[in-house]
């Protein structure tokens, strides 16, 4: 074979191999299972057995924390009003002491609020963790069962999915499996 023809033949062969690989990579109508799907974890969580009880427990505990903070806030407001009424007759030293006392009360209120928020967040994680683990197990099972590479959560913060084929939505399937319904 002549050197020019050999190069042309190798070039043609490379193009043919590239085309065969590329065409083989393009999904056909017969390949009905995509490598991905999506769910709405927010919908799933709200419909998971046990969610209503966990949410009710958490709401009750948070209401109690909130009541404590509101009572402390009322006490601070009352102390500030009393100071405003008395400040005119107080000596500069007494006024400074009272202002320091009010600042300390305000700092305590802020600290109690921060602590309550941290406790509420921790308690929410404790209550939701078993539910989330069950949901994750069902989603992982579906992913493996259907040979999917990825399952996106369309309700996740920062989600950039703006449109998707409803056929790819596994939300109702996950809910049925969690609630014991048939598919």
**Residues 123, 86 share a domain:** yes
Neighbours of 72 (CB within 10 A): 15
Statement to judge: residues 6 and 89 lie in one domain = no
The pTM of the full predicted model, rounded to 2 decimals, is 0.68
Distance in angstroms (rounded) separating the CA atoms of residues 20 and 169: 32
150 and 109 together in one domain: yes
Range of the domain at 18: 1-26
Q: Where are the beta strands (DSSP E) in the chain?
A: 36-39, 150-153
Per-residue model confidence as pLDDT tens for the chain (183 residues): 555 544 444 444 444 444 434 444 444 444 555 599 999 999 999 999 999 999 999 999 999 999 999 999 999 999 999 989 988 898 999 999 999 999 999 999 999 999 999 999 999 999 999 999 999 999 999 999 999 999 999 998 888 888 888 999 999 999 999 998 766
């Amino acid at each position: 074979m002549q050197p020019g023809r050999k190069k042309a033949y190798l070039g043609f062969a490379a193009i043919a191999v590239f085309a065969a690989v590329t065409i083989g990579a393009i999904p056909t109508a017969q390949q009905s299972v995509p490598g991905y799907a999506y769910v709405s974890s927010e919908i799933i969580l709200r419909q998971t057995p046990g969610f209503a009880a966990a949410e009710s427990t958490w709401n009750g505990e948070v209401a109690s924390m909130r009541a404590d903070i509101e009572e402390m806030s009322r006490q601070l407001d009352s102390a500030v009003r009393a100071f405003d009424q008395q400040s005119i007759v107080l000596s500069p030293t007494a006024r400074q002491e009272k202002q320091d006392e009010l600042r300390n009360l305000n700092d305590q209120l802020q600290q109690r609020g921060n602590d309550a928020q941290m406790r509420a967040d921790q308690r929410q994680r404790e209550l939701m963790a078993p539910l989330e683990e069950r949901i994750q197990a069902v989603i992982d099972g579906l992913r493996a069962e259907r040979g999917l590479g990825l399952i996106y959560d369309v309700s996740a913060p920062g989600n950039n999915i703006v449109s998707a084929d409803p056929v790819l939505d596994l939300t109702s399937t996950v809910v049925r499996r969690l609630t014991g319904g048939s598919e």
